[in-house]
Structure 1
Amino acid sequence: MDWEKVFATRSSRMKASEIRELLKLLDQPDIISFAGGIPDPALFPTQEFQQAFANTLTGDKQTTALQYSVSEGYVPLRQWIAKQMEGLGIPCSIENILITSGSQQALDYLGKLLLSPNDTALVTWPTYMGALGAFNAYEPNYDRLIANGNRSAKEYQETAAEKNSEVKFAYMSVDFANPTGETLDRAGREKLLDLAEELDIPVIEDAAYQSLRYDGEAIPPILALDIQRKGHIDETRTLYCGSFSKTLAPGLRVGWVCAAQSVISKLVLMKQAADLHSSTINQIAIHEVASKGFDKQVAKIFTAYSTRRDCMLAALEEHMPEGVSWTKPEGGMFIWLTLPKHLDGAELLAKSIENQRVAFVPGHAFYADGSNRNTMRLSFSQANEETIHEGIRRLGLLLKSA
């Protein structure tokens, strides 16, 4: 059978993740990998989860844990999240929260909810490639989101109109963004809200790294600023996507959306149609571990990752040749390198794997148009200090000879 004839047109927009392919390299013991932006498994609260799952499968909880459940999510977990959100300046109820299978599922649902074919999504240049992967299936156009106010709403509308398109939302990771590690300051967040007001569109706030701040003062989430303007979460336009993947355990696939009830009610219908509900036993375990020691776990991550970030920044200063620049993140897992214009990150990766045995992610994968090939993303989350220094030394040699 010729399957290409029956595939939906959206299937042509689906592409393999370059990061997923690179993760296969982790099985090669001599590769130093700065590629996968994934947590260090040595930092997982393993014993706490062992106890949590044991508790979940004994007594009254075992029936609940192994049974179908409500699509909105496990009530005690949603209550815990609501309390955490209030601490971020986002007063809400459990009716404003939907549990998803990681924040990646939240992005997919929001793309499905908001995008019709040929609509325009505003995304940063570069942006999280997982968001592009989620949105691509719904056949949008992309335009470059500049959050500091240097482009007017009219310019965005005119660019969309040239393609007979309509601007539908702005998507941004505002804290220690994947891939750049950069953070949008408060003034930039206010300007982004101003732009969204002028365009009358939602803002999708990807907060996957929000807890991973190592330096500087915390900045209120966009949703918190939106509530300050509107007075109540149900009057806001911001859709906050959170996750336990970077703090507790990515393998359990537990994330959430916090938004106005009118949006959550639509997302619940999608959840019912897609997978009924996220794994109940995983939600119960996440709730038990989070409620007993979330702050302690974040502190453990802070100590490890901040040290590794500092080590990588110092190594870059020591080994990078002239013409290479990089970001200096206040948190998260990533540092973004910009190379001389004539260099191509994908070509460098092939040479690096062959000659230096160091892996990274070529930067063009994070651009909706595949541009800016003279960039790369480095992750410091999984390597120890000695490995970081050696890996950056090797990359320096590669770039000096390029």
Structure 2
Amino acid sequence: MTDWAHLYADRSKRMGASEIRELLKLLDQPDMISFAGGIPDPALFPADAFKQAFEDLFSDGGHQTALQYSVSEGYKPLRDWIAGQMAAIGVPCSAENIIITSGAQQAVDYLGKLFLSAGDTALVGWPTYLGALQAFNAYEPAYQRLDPFANMSAQAYRETAAAAGGAVKFAYTSADFANPTGETLTLDARNGILDLAGDLDIAVIEDAAYQSLRFDGEALPPLMALDIARCGDIEATRTIYCGSFSKTLSPGLRLGWVCAATPVIQKLVLIKQASDLNSSTLNQMVMAKVAMSCFEEQVTRIRKVYSERRDHMLAALERHMPAGVTWGRPEGGMFLWLQLPEAMDAGALMEQSVTSAKVAFVPGHAFFADGSGQNCMRLNFTSCGPDRIEEGIARLGRLIAERMPWAA
């Protein structure tokens, strides 16, 4: 048999399986309660609107365009609609500032490819989105900690990056209801990141996949809006905004977007051309119809349901978690972040949980660039109804109590 290992590029050594994607395989087990994936509830998808959009497309002759190749930038009516949505959150722009991607995950991958040479440094949260680390890892970067409340000086970042063999290229952050912590950056923290990026002369990648899912609290302007307020025009910004339809309308159509200054979009178009030519034209045309017909109604609907589920999970945690376990209260999004006592290993706990308690979650170490965070875990509250949330948290609480250091 062929020995493939010696043929692989060195960068392949930094590629690893997503713990989340592996855990999704457990969803097929009927007795498993999964809090693992960042999964919207399929019962809440606007199925009738999608059905009607597909039917309309094939009845009015639009299928001839939908089934054909298309431009790499994306379907113009969809980009126009997105530009209108961006303007509504303080980012005046045009379709020329938008490229459609196959989900926000592809956007993050493309941006890693665009900015990172081997040895360059990416500033990321501690913890941060696992999918971003997976995407960036292929381009062999070093990582430094981005902490809006305790960042190093720009000079210290430069010196550390130089010692790693490259330069600082960007800061990656999710300002609203971050994956995995559910945290939202304050206005001061957002401005602090922009200040640091200005001092370093680097890009800011704003992953806004959850921005529409605010349940309570006051909405804050995205970093890109703050950036535009400073410099006056999107063409002068250093912020790159990544959006997604996956958490609002449907993840199955795999559509997201990047909003940025046109020089960045033009480079991303070249990457898109070399990668997959264009995102599915059919899916883009259908998504445009659905977004134009019911986006606000759909977002209002899921906010209500997901807010109630967040509250159910928070209440269940209060009832069932033993002393020594702590968690936050996110104002939106899909996740709760739990911290166990320092001596506990959430990875080892997960292995027992899926076999004995039949509850799945994501161990926290997967979200740290240095593999730390062993005593943390991420729970998703959007994919289960109240009864399963109650039962799952009760099972998990009993298991954690049994494994507490002082229980031995």
Whether TM exceeds 0.5 here: the answer is yes
Alpha-carbon distance in structure 1 between the residues aligned to 2:155 and 2:322: 42
SS of residue in 2 equivalent to 1:250: coil
SS of residue in 2 equivalent to 1:351: helix
The residue number in structure 2 matching 1:32 is 33
The residue number in structure 2 matching 1:340 is 341
1:247/1:298 contact within 8 Å kept: yes
Unaligned runs of 5+ in 2: 404-408
2:99 is equivalent to residue 81 of structure 1: no
Alpha-carbon distance in structure 2 between the residues aligned to 1:330 and 1:175: 9
The residue number in structure 2 matching 1:120 is 121
The residue number in structure 2 matching 1:272 is 273
Alpha-carbon distance in structure 1 between the residues aligned to 2:165 and 2:132: 23
2:170/2:205 contact within 8 Å kept: yes
Alpha-carbon distance in structure 2 between the residues aligned to 1:363 and 1:354: 19
The residue number in structure 2 matching 1:173 is 174
2:364 is equivalent to residue 363 of structure 1: yes
2:236 is equivalent to residue 235 of structure 1: yes
- Aligned ranges 1:17-56 → 2 under 5 Å: 17-56=18-57
The residue number in structure 1 matching 2:264 is 263
2:124/2:173 contact within 8 Å kept: yes
Alpha-carbon distance in structure 2 between the residues aligned to 1:99 and 1:158: 36
1:149/1:191 contact within 8 Å kept: no
Unaligned runs of 5+ in 1: none
Alpha-carbon distance in structure 1 between the residues aligned to 2:333 and 2:13: 32
Letter in 2 for 1:209: Y
- Structure 1 243/60 Cα, relative in aligned 2: closer, same or farther at 3 Å? same
Letter in 2 for 1:203: V
The residue number in structure 1 matching 2:106 is 105
- Aligned ranges 1:184-195 → 2 under 5 Å: 184-195=185-196
Letter in 2 for 1:90: V
1:336/1:378 contact within 8 Å kept: yes
Q: Deviations over 1:46-95 (max 9, x none)?
A: 11101101111222312111111111000000000000000000000100
1:125/1:367 contact within 8 Å kept: yes
1:5 to partner: Cα distance: 1.2
SS of residue in 1 equivalent to 2:21: helix
Taking every aligned residue pair, what percent have the same amino acid on both sides?
64
Alpha-carbon distance in structure 1 between the residues aligned to 2:354 and 2:291: 39
2:120 is equivalent to residue 136 of structure 1: no
- Aligned ranges 1:212-231 → 2 under 5 Å: 212-231=213-232
SS of residue in 1 equivalent to 2:118: coil
SS of residue in 2 equivalent to 1:328: coil
Return 370-379 or 51-60, whichever deviates more: 51-60
1:149/1:192 contact within 8 Å kept: no
Letter in 1 for 2:114: L
1:147/1:188 contact within 8 Å kept: yes
Letter in 2 for 1:237: R
The residue number in structure 1 matching 2:284 is 283
SS of residue in 2 equivalent to 1:38: coil
Letter in 1 for 2:384: A
Alpha-carbon distance in structure 1 between the residues aligned to 2:61 and 2:356: 57
Q: Deviations over 1:81-140 (max 9, x none)?
A: 000000000000100000000000000100000000010000000000000011010000
The residue number in structure 2 matching 1:322 is 323
- Structure 1 342/149 Cα, relative in aligned 2: closer, same or farther at 3 Å? closer
The residue number in structure 2 matching 1:198 is 199
Alpha-carbon distance in structure 2 between the residues aligned to 1:380 and 1:311: 9
Q: So what's the TM-score if we normalise by structure 2?
A: 0.97
1:152 to partner: Cα distance: 1.7
1:149 to partner: Cα distance: 4.8
Q: Deviations over 1:248-294 (max 9, x none)?
A: 00010010000000100000011111111100010011000000110
Letter in 2 for 1:27: D
Alpha-carbon distance in structure 1 between the residues aligned to 2:53 and 2:199: 47
SS of residue in 2 equivalent to 1:204: strand
2:333 is equivalent to residue 294 of structure 1: no
Letter in 2 for 1:24: K
Q: Which runs of 4+ in 1 moved over 4 A?
A: none
